[in-house]
Amino acid sequence: MLFLLDYGAGNVTSLANSIRKLGHQFRWIETSADFEAATSLVFPGVGAFESAIQHLSHRGLLEPLRKYILSGRPYFGICIGMQVLYQSSEESRSPGLGIIPGPIERFSDNDKAVPHIGWNSSQPLDVLLPQDVCTHFYFVHSYCAKYKPEKFPEAAQWAHTTTQYGEEIFVSSVRKGDVFGTQFHPEKSGGAGLALLDAWLRGTLPAHEPEGPRVSRPLNLKHGLTKRIIACMDVRANDEGDLVVTKGDQYDVRERVALAATAGGAVRNLGKPIALAERYYDAGADELCLLNITSFRHSPLQDQPMLAVVRVAAERLFIPLTIGGGIKDTIDPDGTPRAALEVASAYFRAGADKVSIGSEAVYAVERLRARGGVADGTSAIETIAHAYGRQAVVVSIDPRRTFVDPGEDLGSRVSEVVRTTDGTAWWYQCTVSGGRETRPLSVVELAQGVEMLGAGEILLNSIDRDGTGLGFDLDLLALVKRSVRIPVVASSGAGSASHFVEAFAQTDVEAALAAGIFHRDEVKISEVKEALRSAGINARQ
């Protein structure tokens, strides 16, 4: 009998969905006795090493898990499920299971953004692949087992594949007998991931036995991490109450022609969220983003249609899903208080991989600055990152250009001012509630504040460029990118495939997102990827 181990945090729903999709049945480990009945076991985990170990230990499952693995019965550990096999983690005070010698360490962010997020290649240590075979899998983590065969020769016997990120080579999968672990997420790696999972479940995954002592691998000139192309769906209820994908121009999502029944025109309807999401999955999108753009008005825990959309999307699409809108402390209509962590947990349980926080991130950084830069652990960013790991927390920023009068005193923000040759100058000011309210915070102050609080990624919109098709705001991207060490997703303004090439060639952003051109089928995702490859930029097939 196949069992799945859930440690209570992280997106296990996606793995369960993948296994069902592949036609296998499973049960959840409830008590330590279930380990006796298990003939194979999958332990998926996104999140934090410490939470995983603590949770397993409190439920009395840690020792039974170790015994199960040492018995040699089939085991598949994913991400944290692989990391716990090691002796220790820099992320945690609690030791790991100690089955593989060596530590789990943090990536260095001297030469690259951390977390490592995206599709990277995985190279077997003992089997030579033909040149044109390069399988990409989806990674999302800040900590890894660095590949140091001379220092940990016994651990090197376990190593199965390695992957290069920046100038570091880490172990991307381990295997000994029937014990297998991957740092990447097969359940989020599209067809390649499902095929790998299926092979393991059927017992047909070929084993590679080391042919001799393992030695260090030379660094490639370029790592295999691809630039991600993300399709974004802004979702809201239309005037009839149906959830639709809409799209604004500079955040105005109503048709220009006014209807008698509404203040402005009708809400633009570009399609149904699931149908569009399936189209983008089939078209090769690397990631999907669903933003509930009016959820600042009410509690998303009452917003069952959005949760239902996430559930169905996660059942059908096996790539990462980011869900945003209304991730904050709320009070239900019956007076029940709901912490942001609880709201986020509902989305993770429904199948989201990351949550995106907008307005609440601005308020959190304002509070942080009022305390003189001292974090107190209470913000939505901190509580969610603590439970699910920082890679699960995206902050969506909605900046707008604020023009500067000649001679205006901008204090320390002067270094953030963009000046054009005709003398026009502006800085980027943050907004909340979908651009409806401007706050006294610059985009750099916000980006650095959320990084300090524990955000794992920035989704960088531009109200000025949204829906215009004029291209990404390259000054804005470069400014934020050089201010933080976490990955930045470029958003707003894409009008052609060449705009993506421009963004990646002229700034170091890790991903680029578009909405309107994909919804209206003006540019295809495959066209964007071809343009990137022609320009020598890594893109997943």
Give the integer Cα–Cα distance in Å for 86 and 102. 6
Cβ proximity to ligand 1PR, 91 vs 234, nearer residue? 234
**CB of 437 vs ligand 1PR, minimal distance in Å:** 11
Report the first-to-last Cα separation within the chain, whole angstroms: 36
For residues 118 and 248, which CB has a smaller minimum distance to ligand 1PR in the complex?
248
Is 298 assigned a catalytic role? no
**Closer Cβ to ligand 1PR, 88 or 238, answer by number:** 238
Shortest approach of ligand 1PR to residue 300 CB, angstroms? 9
Site residues (CB under 6 A) for ligand 1PR? 232, 234, 247-248, 251, 253, 291, 293, 295-296, 324-327, 356-360, 396, 398, 434, 461, 466-467, 491-494, 514-516
Is 234 noted as a catalytic residue in this protein? yes
Residue 373 marked as a ligand binder: no
Give the residue nearest to ligand 1PR (CB): 434
Smallest distance from the beta carbon of 398 to ligand 1PR, in angstroms?
5
Distance between CA atoms of residues 15 and 318, nearest Å: 9
Cα(427)–Cα(521) distance, integer angstroms: 33
Q: Which is nearer to ligand 1PR, 97 or 229 (CB)?
A: 229
User: Least distance (Å) from ligand 1PR to the CB of residue 484?
Assistant: 18
Q: What are phi and psi of 266, to 5 degrees?
A: -70, 155
Pick the catalytic residue: 116, 141, 185, 386? 185
3-class DSSP state for residue 363? helix
Is 398 considered catalytic here?
Answer: yes
141 noted as active-site residue: no
Q: Comparing C-alpha atoms, which of 353, 327, 325, 324 is closest to residue 341?
A: 327
DSSP state at residue 524 = -
Our CB check for ligand 1PR shows the closer of 210 and 435 to be: 435
Distance of CA 177 to the CA centre of its chain: 31
Nearer to ligand 1PR, 326 or 487 (CB): 326
What CA–CA distance (Å, rounded) separates 212 from 162? Answer: 17
C-alpha triplet 249, 397, 500: angle, nearest 5°: 65
DSSP string for 181-239: EESSBGGGSHHHHHHHHHHHHHT-PPP----S---PPPPPSS--PPPEEEEEEEEEE-T
User: Catalytic annotation on 132?
Assistant: no
Nearest to 497 by CA among 474, 475, 472: 472
When the beta carbons of 83 and 507 are compared against ligand 1PR, the nearer one is 507
**Whether 169 contacts 225, CB under 8 Å:** no
List the catalytic residue out of 91, 105, 303, 398: 398
CB of 499 to ligand 1PR, least distance (A): 9
Is residue 326 marked as binding?
yes
Is residue 144 marked as binding? no
Question: What's the rounded Cα separation, in Å, for the pair 214 and 156?
Answer: 6
Enter the DSSP assignment of 60: T
Q: Which of 91, 187, 198, 510 is catalytic?
A: 187
State the minimum distance, in angstroms, from the CB of residue 492 to ligand 1PR: 3
Q: Provide the sign of the torsion angle of the four alpha carbons 505, 507, 509, 510, taken in this order.
A: positive
In angstroms, what is the minimal distance from the CB of 176 to ligand 1PR? 44
Omega before residue 149 within 30° of 0, cis: no
Q: How far apart are CA 254 and CA 411, in angstroms?
A: 38
- Known binding-site residues for substrate equal 326, 461
- Known binding-site residues for L-glutamine equal 79
| Catalytically annotated residues | 79, 185, 187, 234, 398
- Known binding-site residues equal 79, 326, 461
